[in-house]
Structure 1
Amino acid sequence: MPSRRKLAAYTLPFLAFVVLLALNVALEKIDNQPWLTLPEYWVYPLQTILSGALLIYFWREYDFAPPRQSGFALLIGIVVFIVWISPQALFGSAPRTLGFNPPFHARSPFYWLELVLRFARLVVVVPLIEEIFWRGFVLRFLIDENFERVPVGAFSWFSFAAVTAGFAFSHSPPDWVAALVAGAAYNAVAYRTKSLSSCVVAHALTNLLLGLWIVQTKQWGFW
């Protein structure tokens, strides 16, 4: 079995993120407390800070080989972005305008802090914690419980299907179809490049393009 520290490194940042996300959903149901009914303005920054701190604490435990076949990883990142926005951008689905809206606090001194933290969450923290957990840990653990013995990018149909489904259904229901495509595509990056770093690069590019598109189109529901 892997060491407790190695297991914690690959799972705790993601689990902390998910627990705080569940807290956000629960708090949204509380009435008459403005600071609670807008939890995205403080829970999301807390997610960024806590998960980011855990990543830094465990950094030496991760198997980050140098990125390989960067062109393929970047191409996958762009393709996933296009798939993600295609219902609204290409097929006329209703805009997703409800969600975290930075201009809501445009005159607040916290505006830029909120926006920077949101992009840090989207482009840095989320790609790292999700790729470390799904491609770095689960994809290998489902082949051998002692996942450290399994090289990044090792293939089995069971782990491929389980990680693709798990990755998809960890997202909100409107994103399930796109997230299924994304999960399979990021798996393909792992299989082709054998590099967890390349998976992070692909995912980060998708999220960067998505964040810029959200700000440009004001479709805050994609956050």
Structure 2
Amino acid sequence: MRSTHRPLYWAGAVLIVIALEYVVMFLWLANLYDGDALQRLPWIWRSTLSNGSALAGGAVAAMIAALVVRRHDMAAYQIDTTAFSARDNRTPLWLAVHVLTICIFFVILLRILAGDTLARSAGPLLLIVWLLSGLFSAGSLIRAIIGPHFFPTLRIYAPLFATAALIGALGGLGAALLLPHWPLLAIPTLHMSAALLDACCGTVVTFPEQALIQFGTFAVFVDRSCSGIEGMALVTAVLGCYLFAFRSELRFPHALLLLPAGAAISFLMNSLRIAALLYIGDRVSPELAKGSFHSMAGWIFFSGVSILVMLASQRITLLKREYAQKAGSGEAAHSLRGDITAAHLLPFLAWLAMGLVTAAFSMGAADPFYPLRVGACLALLWHFRRYISDIVRPHLTDANARIGLAGSTLIGLAVALVWLMLVPHTTPEERAMPETLRQMASPALIFWIAARLIGTTLVVPVIEELAFRGYLQRVLVSGTFWKIPQNKVTPIAALGSAIAFGLMHEAWLAGIIAGLAFTAATMLRGRLADAILAHAVANAVLSACVLFLGRWDLW
């Protein structure tokens, strides 16, 4: 038993090391960063530092994608194998190598940013040392996480990772080179938005020199975020991943038409978004336009365009590859996979989609349409009850039922305590009941609070655990995730699902810790129901703080 749980300890140690590195070193870098000083550096340093984040980000993202695609080959890293066994006593050594090399990496970077004398005197040689220290830092950290299988696996998958990293780096470089040219789209976007409003609502005034468009008393400056270039790049990236993932079902090169089509549709929808922003700002509410609609509409349109283009591609015969053989068992397996995947993901995705839409039309911190989200997700859970009823049932007759219930409850209480400690400090005004709720009549407020309690303590724990621990954590182990026992996960899968879960929350560090804790809950009996219970207990404690202590910022 000791070797079974040890990976979680090392996962926590690695997570703490990473968190301390980023908090200490990146905050220090933020204080020293000076754009003018960067421009005075030699060209080789200036180019590397200016485009380094895009190159590294693209390379890392591509390698992670390659890892996910080949995840079924990583079964040797399950936490009950020897990847983190007691015989692997070199993990602390590799963590020490990581800390040493990343210190070298940041010391050189700090010296470079503090003044250009060192950069000019050392030049390319120091740059090579700096890049190698970063590479060794990343490699030693991965070795510490994976264990002794790292080097044999690296030899096997080095060509795959090298190719993925090269493609990702080139993609990141392309994005970095493309982004400064956003003004090229600003004027076409401005004129397209004006034409849409002119056609239905009346006169629109444009100022092309200032990239400004005015409708009535409300004006919008079409800057980089409004030009549509970021949305076009995101849609193209998503569709590129879709083409790769479904390459066996799509017909090439015909399917490549989806890329320019998606970019063009994204441009048109961005123009429609700006037209809607102007209309709402002049005819409905300037506060709504400048607030939630402006911040959320872009994500709504991006998600909608990506999903609709992918769905449309499944309906267009020209883009589909006909299969010569469709064995009955194969079709049945595909149908089963589709239903189980939908049962795990659709309730959570519906929750997110409705949240994006309702947030765009919510003028305060509280979402007045929250009960609609709860009702829709309850309906979906009922629809998929055939697939999830056994998963979410607590199984009180099990031999270890008491251990599961008691352990999950304690984990939930601990998560709530950690959350309260790590949540960002707020002002008394932010903790007070939102104005939207104060303006509600008493029956409506009672109904909203009841719906919020049901959603927070019952619906959200179920849909989030189905998505993150039930699906994502296991699909990172094998594509046939439903065959993977809930307590047979890899360190990469546990960390990956926890990080994804944490990034869904404003208090991301607390969210990551909570994700790891809920993974630990599934280890008690190998049942997702224990993670759901721990999640529900944590949310119930936070809800009690809202209702009895007036901490409305927690909702």
TM-score of the pair, normalised by structure 1: 0.85
CA contact (8 A) 2:432 2:550 kept: no
CA contact (8 A) 2:522 2:528 kept: yes
Between the aligned partners of 2:466 and 2:446, the Cα distance in structure 1 is 29
**One-letter amino acid of the structure 1 residue matched with residue 377 of structure 2:** S
Within 5 Å, which residues of 2 pair with 1:64-213? 64=392, 66=395, 68=401, 69-87=404-422, 93-95=425-427, 96-97=430-431, 100=434, 104-105=438-439, 107-172=441-506, 175-213=507-545
CA shift for structure 1 position 208: 0.7
Between the aligned partners of 1:205 and 1:102, the Cα distance in structure 2 is 27
CA contact (8 A) 2:456 2:540 kept: yes
Between the aligned partners of 2:411 and 2:443, the Cα distance in structure 1 is 37
The equivalent position to 2:367 in structure 1, one of 30, 33, 40, is 40
Q: Deviations over 1:130-176 (max 9, x none)?
A: 0111111111111111111111121201101110100000112xx11
Between the aligned partners of 1:159 and 1:99, the Cα distance in structure 2 is 38
Structure 2 unaligned spans of 5+ = 1-333
TM-score of the pair, normalised by structure 2: 0.36
Between the aligned partners of 1:189 and 1:6, the Cα distance in structure 2 is 22
**One-letter amino acid of the structure 1 residue matched with residue 381 of structure 2:** L
Query: 1:7 maps to which residue?
Result: 341
SS in 2 for 1:154: coil
Between the aligned partners of 2:436 and 2:451, the Cα distance in structure 1 is 11
Between the aligned partners of 2:435 and 2:454, the Cα distance in structure 1 is 16
Structure 1 unaligned spans of 5+ = 29-36
CA contact (8 A) 1:186 1:202 kept: yes
Higher relative CO (Cα under 8 Å, sequence separation at least 6) belongs to 1
CA contact (8 A) 2:461 2:532 kept: yes
Runs of 4+ in structure 1 off by over 4 angstroms are 98-103
Question: Structure 1 residues 101 and 207 mapped into 2: Cα distance closer, same or farther (>3 Å)?
Answer: farther
**One-letter amino acid of the structure 1 residue matched with residue 547 of structure 2:** V
Question: Structure 1 residues 213 and 10 mapped into 2: Cα distance closer, same or farther (>3 Å)?
Answer: same
CA shift for structure 1 position 221: 1.4
Q: Deviations over 1:167-212 (max 9, x none)?
A: 000112xx11111110110011112320111111110011111101
1:51 aligns with 2:363: no
SS in 1 for 2:431: coil
CA contact (8 A) 1:64 1:197 kept: yes
Between the aligned partners of 2:497 and 2:376, the Cα distance in structure 1 is 24
CA contact (8 A) 1:123 1:207 kept: yes
CA contact (8 A) 1:102 1:111 kept: no
Question: Structure 1 residues 148 and 26 mapped into 2: Cα distance closer, same or farther (>3 Å)?
Answer: same
Q: Please give the root-mean-square deviation of Cα atoms over the aligned residues, in Å.
A: 2.2
CA shift for structure 1 position 26: 2.7
SS in 2 for 1:3: helix
Between the aligned partners of 1:164 and 1:117, the Cα distance in structure 2 is 27
Query: 1:61 maps to which residue?
Result: 387
Between the aligned partners of 2:436 and 2:550, the Cα distance in structure 1 is 10
CA shift for structure 1 position 27: 2.8
Between the aligned partners of 2:359 and 2:444, the Cα distance in structure 1 is 23
